[in-house]
Structure 1
Amino acid sequence: MEMRFFDKQAQWAAGLAAAMLMGGGSVHALAPVDEIDPTIGTITTSADGACGKTFPGPATPFGLVQLSPDTITGGDNGSGYSAEMTTIEGFSFLHMSGVGCYGDLGNLQVMPETGSLVIGRDEAKSPYRKETEVAKAGYYGVQLDRYHVKAELTAAPHAGMLRFTFPASPNSRIKVDLTRRIGASSDSHSSAQWARQTDDHTVEGWMRCDPSGGGWGCGPGPTYTVYFSMQFAKPIKAFGTWDGGDISRALKQRSGSHTGFFVEFPTKAGEQVTVKSGISFVSIDGARANLAHDIPGWSFDAVRDQARSLWAAALSRAGAEGGAPTQRRIFNTALYHTMLDPRSVSDVDGSYIGADHQEHKAKGFVYRSIFSGWDVFRADFPLQTIVNPSLINDEVNSLIQITELGGARGLARWELMGTDAGTMVGDPGLNVICEAYLKGIRGYDAQKAYAMARGVGLGPADKSNRNDFDHWTKLGYCADGSSLSETLENSYSDYALARFATALGKTDAAAQLLKTAQNYRNLFNSGDHWFRGRNPDGGWMAADAGCVESIPTQQGWFVPQDIAGLIGLVGGRDKFVARLNDFFVHTPPDQIMRWNNFYNHSNEPVHQCAFMFTYAGAPWLTQKWSRFICDNGYKTGPGGLDGNDDVGQMSAWYVLASAGLYPVSPASGVYILGSPIFPKVTLRLDPKYAKGKSFTISAPNTSAANIYVQSATLNGKPLTRAWVTHEEIARGGTLSLKMGPEPNKLWGAGSGEAPPSITK
């Protein structure tokens, strides 16, 4: 197994041992880690559906365990936590961040109690006060007013730890619900459970989850088993179990369909009781080994400090300097949110459960899960190609494995625990693989990857993610209910696959793919001067039909592979710029992250729009509107992400745009330059994939007034184009931008060197 900053097991153990030797003293290696605010975006419910759906609890970078408080089970609350809710039902070990659907996981929920035993989650909830809640990188704490217990949480890559400070009580307990699972309904649950007390300090068991339990609510649900090995620092003197309403204090093990267990003990005022648990999706032995490896001792502070240290190292990959404190908090929290998924679901020895539900062992990569493809191929994965290229190798290998083992037809669109939910449109797995290969990230079988991608793009219909393969090749467009979204997304994917084919020397396939990459043109309605979906008989759909999470006025801008062609369709540069500018002018600043008929940043089809002006020779408008989105679409606090974070995509957009660049067409390897918020952003490069050590964007006089680029140099030489390539970034160096309060309409527009496009 490769050792990397986000999943390096040996380093974790060594660092934890060192922290314990120091008595658990705090480590303050990097200031940016203290600017992470995990409460940003932690609303899951609102009147108009605008919410971030993140969670405030501790995790490690791309770690398996994500331990957090739960305020709700069921409904469109994928994280299980919403900041405006006033009660907590427990603390579970597995969460999903920013999902725009009902979610899943939420397993192994722990809750401290005093007084009489209360089994039901709703009945046992405790009120809490927001002023007692503390959330930092690797730490969460809160006071449970009903039980007068302080709860503290911290996490390791494969294990978690809870510390409860109890009041004086003759009857305190820690209760563990094995049934609970976040999902589509308040009755979502694991389908079977088993637990056994193995000694005076340890309880082990498992929870089996399948679609019958009502978890994932957006397409086929996954089947998985969560194994745990839980240890209590205080010896277990009284142990009990339940199954439904049947409670027993005599059984030392129990199986059932609505099962849990509890340990009871008297406590003195201020007595701390610590609990830790290893988690595995493979076996109890795996959970036991994960716990022994990640948290061998009992120092809560040492585990917390090591988690913080891992986040400090992770954030050093993209460091922002200067700017306002609020901007740095948003930036560093956004970077944090991009490094939660796709998480490792392997044990410390590399074992994992594949899409065939059998045990496998990863060789040369870390097996990962939670790939929100339709969202993250746009900005999140392009960001990781720069700062975490080994993660991209992991994900490509994981996608290949999932397809090989039958977890997806073609390549997964939205993968969860080895199952392709099939939700959303397009071929995002293909997009990610093609971009990776073209950027020199090639730690996988390229021919196999191409064959799978080809199966999606041009192969037999029964291997395709496309619902109407024949329509794609014969009609030249997708003709199902989401005709417009499908056609435009697939046109981009064929462009990406054409570039991959060219790089592999498959010139005939590349030529064919470049032709179908132009299929978007077949949905341009000359009468409307814009795009419309079409029916199988060639007739046009209604003007507001044919889209997924967008409307035609929004989806129609998604032609990232051929903006020169799009400019021609709408009547030339001037008309293109006027129409795109109007798209932003009519967007109310307070609605930019909420549903409206113009620029709707909370849904991905428009994410590239602010950077498209550059293709038409108006980069100053890219600078204006990208800064507008940064300033109006992102805030601090629970409402800071006024739209689903979409497993890091919304956050990645901010990281890149605030640094001053964005990949309109990721497979092209081109980043359009915008308006950097920070005087300096440094992207650290991986020497395995890049020639340089770092790439710095320097804009020393940027400010709220100075938002326009006046001139630029790249490594000391004048740069007259408003874009850079991935190769230039990978070589390292410094991009210097001189900023000013008025646009310089000659810079980036007068050279005639437009970014690459199919028709150029």
Structure 2
Amino acid sequence: MRSSTALAIALLTAACSSSDPERPAPGTPDPPGPETCYAPPEGDDPARVEAIAPFRRYVDPFIGTGGVGFGVGSAFPGPQRPFGMVRPGPDTTSPSGAIAFAHCSGYAYDDPFIYGFSQTRMHGTGIVDYGHIGLMPTLGMTAEKTTAAGRRIAYDKATERASPGSYDVTLADGVHVEITATERVALYRTTFPQGSDATLLLDIGHALPGVDIVDGQVDLDPASQQITGFAKVAGGYSGRYGGMPVYFAARFNQPFVTYGVFQGGALAQGEFSRTGGDVGAWASFDPQADGQVGVAIAISFVDVAHARMNLAEEASTFDFDAVRSDAEAAWESALSRMEIVARKESDLRIAYTALYHTLLMPTLATEVDGTYRGLDGDVHTAAGFTYYTDFSLWDTYRTLHPWLTLLYPERQRDMLQSMVAMGVEGGAPPKWPLGIGETGGMVGDSATVVFADSWARGLRDFDLGAAYDVLRASATTELPKGGRNHVLEYAEKGFIGIESGGSSGSSTLEYALDDFALATLADAHGRGDDATLFKERSGNWKNLWDAESGFLLGRHADGRFPSDDDHKAWQDYWAEGTTWHYTWFVPHDPHGLAETMGGRETFLRRLDDYFAMSTCQLAGKLLPKPYYWHSNEPVLFIPWLYGELDEAARAATWSRWALATEYGDGPDGLPGNDDGGTMSAWWLFTASGFFPRIATSEYLIGAPILPEITLKLPGGDFTITTTGPAHGVPVRATLDGQSLGRPRFDQSQIAAGGKLVIELADEARAWE
């Protein structure tokens, strides 16, 4: 999640009729909590539907492309390769225009118009960025078509199809558009009506809503049937560092009949070049007998020469069907690492689409010759690894990166090496790097958690020393550029004062978690004194505990707690959340939080009340919610807090509730922004019956909604099955025939594969 509005915050209210049980000092008897508005499903559903290869048949790229308000998923239906650089697809609009927050990926499911097909975008973010190089097939060329409004056209929703590696649609003028992609090249096959004036235009000034085009260039070469150039956009995040340039080389599979360039809406037929942010080019063709005209558009983050190089390497000839077949094969290989048995077909669609969504970001940023443009602006060579960018780390450290570490460790290893390079070249740990720049988005030092979590789970093929030096510097000094904000104040006081700026409370809590992770890395690196220091600092969350109210709160620089905190409203000292959201945010020390709240039983009763109130909130995803709000990351681990205290049955009850109420198989099937696959990874873990303990080697056990899954791990197959009633709660588990004394297991226990059997019962009882 990345955006909020004054209206949404004003409308943020509790929907429960019962009073908010806001607690006095720990140890004080609790008043009765409210009745829950949720009844867990009863009965049994013995159906079993086994996924059958090809698994890509179950992926529906339209899931998450719709939604309203804070329920917008920001997914897109266009094709790409796993973590590919190029993401071609349609950019849509409504009759009255496109609201930015609903078009962060360029596409909104209910829009009736397409105004272009751009080559870059992100998946599931709450910020609008990228959207470079708009291609538009059209019948003839006029000055009006140089603008988005002038060329927008209705399309036949019934003809729109998408699957991993492929997208196609028929426009209202009868032009049929098919798209596929290599890692760095988008291929379009356009079929024009017989006898029409077949024209393809490239708009350098094409933009997603709210994104500015700050510079560009277009060069047309009829002899080679190519158009090259670049576009530099300044979006919601890339604008923070001056804008993101993307270079391109487009080669058409037929000669130009007529051609020209344009600038500022003025056509210049027969001319070859223009410079600026409002330029473009077009060419008309004499289609083959089948009416088809093809174009391959390669992109580069380095320069036009590398775009040409990428084009020559990945699409030396225009063979659309072969490229699409290769794309489908790449996806099938990636998706086949998870074999699923579900109880209904819709769960197979949700499951494999979620898996697909976890493989879209971060973004490949390495050219075919191994070079990349780093955060320092210079061109480097990735020696022995593949360089990625677009790390939404405040989101992805929670679920996506643990999922990739488990199932796609070779990809995660390259991402860790990429983050090391970013830290060394940029002088600070990556925070929210987009393209070739650091945006500084969100709070915390989340790269620390990603490194520590990966290391703890056995993924250690990266330069720990280089990573640690940068992370330690960020945690102890004010770096010239980047790093932890207000770190000296945090180190001195143990918290960041409200007067230091927005999200001070969230930053304090995130830094405490970051310090826990950094202590793990210090110990691994043989830095015992550092490990002791950061372990001690990981307890700084306690400095936000207000004993009088019984909540974690922001704190003034002089130590006072605010007296007017509305626990159900967004506060400036929280990042996109309420006090009810953040009072639980101690994922690394849940037992310490329970003790601070008054002990285990008090903690559990209060958590029960929290979820009871959460079920009584207004239904739907339009607005933020004051209690459990699954549309945003800070609460994602809260159902699993029960599991931290070995209460697996209650962890299963409330995590299943979130699965049932927040996800689906329609365009509104995500709880909100997928945030680079974060929400999808949460579904995969939870539906499979286990969840990662943050920055450790352990997983908590819950109750799968999928009766059987097999994960193809590097060391062997890891299978999870259940016994007992389908809607039951977990009471016992065995791993390779051995009973687990607690509802958890360690990464080392499944490194060579294994079989986890989770026993479910109708009623909760002591773990056996």
Change (3 A) 1:58 1:29: farther
Give the corresponding residue for 1:265. 285
Change (3 A) 1:198 1:433: farther
Change (3 A) 1:79 1:388: same
- Structure-2 separation of matches of 1:477 and 1:628: 35
Change (3 A) 1:30 1:354: same
Give the corresponding residue for 1:104. 129
Change (3 A) 1:53 1:468: same
Q: State how 1:37-436 maps to structure 2 within 5 Å.
A: 37-43=60-66, 46=68, 48-72=69-93, 75-76=100-101, 77-101=103-127, 103-117=128-142, 118-145=145-172, 147-182=173-208, 184-185=210-211, 188-197=212-221, 199-207=223-231, 209=232, 213-217=233-237, 220-221=240-241, 223-267=243-287, 271-406=291-426, 410-436=428-454
Q: State how 1:533-552 maps to structure 2 within 5 Å.
A: 533-541=554-562, 542-544=564-566, 545=571, 546-552=573-579
Q: Identity of aligned pairs, percent?
A: 33
- Structure-1 separation of matches of 2:72 and 2:619: 13
User: Which of the numbers 594, 599, 618 marks the counterpart of 1:572?
Assistant: 599
Report the alpha carbon displacement of residue 344 of structure 1 after superposing the two structures with TM: 0.9
Report the alpha carbon displacement of residue 612 of structure 1 after superposing the two structures with TM: 0.7
Change (3 A) 1:415 1:464: closer
Q: State how 1:451-490 maps to structure 2 within 5 Å.
A: 451-460=469-478, 462=480, 465-479=483-497, 480=500, 481-490=502-511
The superposition leaves residues 186-206 of structure 1 with CA deviations (integer Å, 9 ceiling, x where unpaired) of: xx2141213221524222222
Amino acid at match of 1:645: D
Report the alpha carbon displacement of residue 618 of structure 1 after superposing the two structures with TM: 1.8
Report the alpha carbon displacement of residue 438 of structure 1 after superposing the two structures with TM: 2.5
Query: More displaced, 439-448 or 629-638?
Result: 439-448
Report the alpha carbon displacement of residue 419 of structure 1 after superposing the two structures with TM: 1.8
TM-score (norm 1): 0.89
Gaps of 5+ in 2: 1-50
User: Which of the numbers 681, 687, 690 marks the counterpart of 1:658?
Assistant: 687
- Structure-1 separation of matches of 2:369 and 2:461: 20
User: Which of the numbers 696, 702, 721 marks the counterpart of 1:668?
Assistant: 696
CA contact (8 A) 1:164 1:272 kept: yes
SS at match of 1:176: strand
Q: Is residue 712 of structure 2 the alignment partner of residue 684 of structure 1?
A: yes
Report the alpha carbon displacement of residue 110 of structure 1 after superposing the two structures with TM: 0.7
User: Which of the numbers 457, 465, 468 marks the counterpart of 1:439?
Assistant: 457
Give the corresponding residue for 1:35. 58
Query: More displaced, 460-469 or 613-622?
Result: 460-469
CA contact (8 A) 1:57 1:139 kept: yes
Report the alpha carbon displacement of residue 418 of structure 1 after superposing the two structures with TM: 2.9
Select the structure with the greater relative contact order (CA < 8 A; seq sep ≥ 6).
2
Q: State how 1:584-733 maps to structure 2 within 5 Å.
A: 584-588=611-615, 591=619, 593=621, 594-665=623-694, 667-686=695-714, 692-699=715-722, 703=726, 706-733=727-754
Give the corresponding residue for 1:754. none
Give the corresponding residue for 2:523. 502
Cα RMSD of the aligned pairs, angstroms, is 2.1
Amino acid at match of 1:403: G
Q: How many residue pairs align between the two structures?
A: 700
- Structure-1 separation of matches of 2:456 and 2:705: 29
Change (3 A) 1:493 1:702: farther
Amino acid at match of 2:647: A
Q: Is residue 762 of structure 2 the alignment partner of residue 741 of structure 1?
A: yes
CA contact (8 A) 1:182 1:189 kept: no
Report the alpha carbon displacement of residue 64 of structure 1 after superposing the two structures with TM: 0.6
Gaps of 5+ in 1: 1-27, 687-691, 749-760
Q: Is residue 537 of structure 2 the alignment partner of residue 516 of structure 1?
A: yes
Amino acid at match of 1:253: S
Amino acid at match of 1:142: V
Q: Is residue 586 of structure 2 the alignment partner of residue 555 of structure 1?
A: no
Change (3 A) 1:747 1:121: same
- Structure-1 separation of matches of 2:268 and 2:349: 49
Amino acid at match of 2:697: G
Give the corresponding residue for 2:16. none
The superposition leaves residues 49-96 of structure 1 with CA deviations (integer Å, 9 ceiling, x where unpaired) of: 321011110011011111110014672221011111110001111111
- Structure-2 separation of matches of 1:662 and 1:402: 29
SS at match of 1:96: coil
- Structure-2 separation of matches of 1:517 and 1:249: 65
Query: More displaced, 694-703 or 411-420?
Result: 694-703
- Structure-2 separation of matches of 1:402 and 1:273: 41
Report the alpha carbon displacement of residue 709 of structure 1 after superposing the two structures with TM: 1.6
- Structure-1 separation of matches of 2:763 and 2:523: 42
CA contact (8 A) 1:57 1:140 kept: yes
- Structure-1 separation of matches of 2:85 and 2:242: 17
CA contact (8 A) 1:379 1:649 kept: yes
- Structure-2 separation of matches of 1:177 and 1:116: 13
- Structure-1 separation of matches of 2:225 and 2:52: 35
- Structure-2 separation of matches of 1:41 and 1:373: 21
Report the alpha carbon displacement of residue 680 of structure 1 after superposing the two structures with TM: 1.4
CA contact (8 A) 2:732 2:743 kept: no
CA contact (8 A) 1:592 1:629 kept: no
Report the alpha carbon displacement of residue 240 of structure 1 after superposing the two structures with TM: 1.0
Report the alpha carbon displacement of residue 270 of structure 1 after superposing the two structures with TM: 5.0
- Structure-1 separation of matches of 2:70 and 2:725: 34
Give the corresponding residue for 1:22. none
The superposition leaves residues 288-327 of structure 1 with CA deviations (integer Å, 9 ceiling, x where unpaired) of: 2222222233332221121111111111222222331111
CA contact (8 A) 1:222 1:417 kept: no
Report the alpha carbon displacement of residue 257 of structure 1 after superposing the two structures with TM: 3.0
Amino acid at match of 1:107: H
- Structure-2 separation of matches of 1:349 and 1:278: 14
- Structure-2 separation of matches of 1:218 and 1:700: 50
TM-score (norm 2): 0.88
SS at match of 1:647: coil
CA contact (8 A) 1:36 1:333 kept: yes
SS at match of 1:71: strand
Amino acid at match of 2:654: W
Report the alpha carbon displacement of residue 627 of structure 1 after superposing the two structures with TM: 1.0
CA contact (8 A) 2:646 2:742 kept: no
SS at match of 2:657: helix
- Structure-2 separation of matches of 1:488 and 1:319: 38
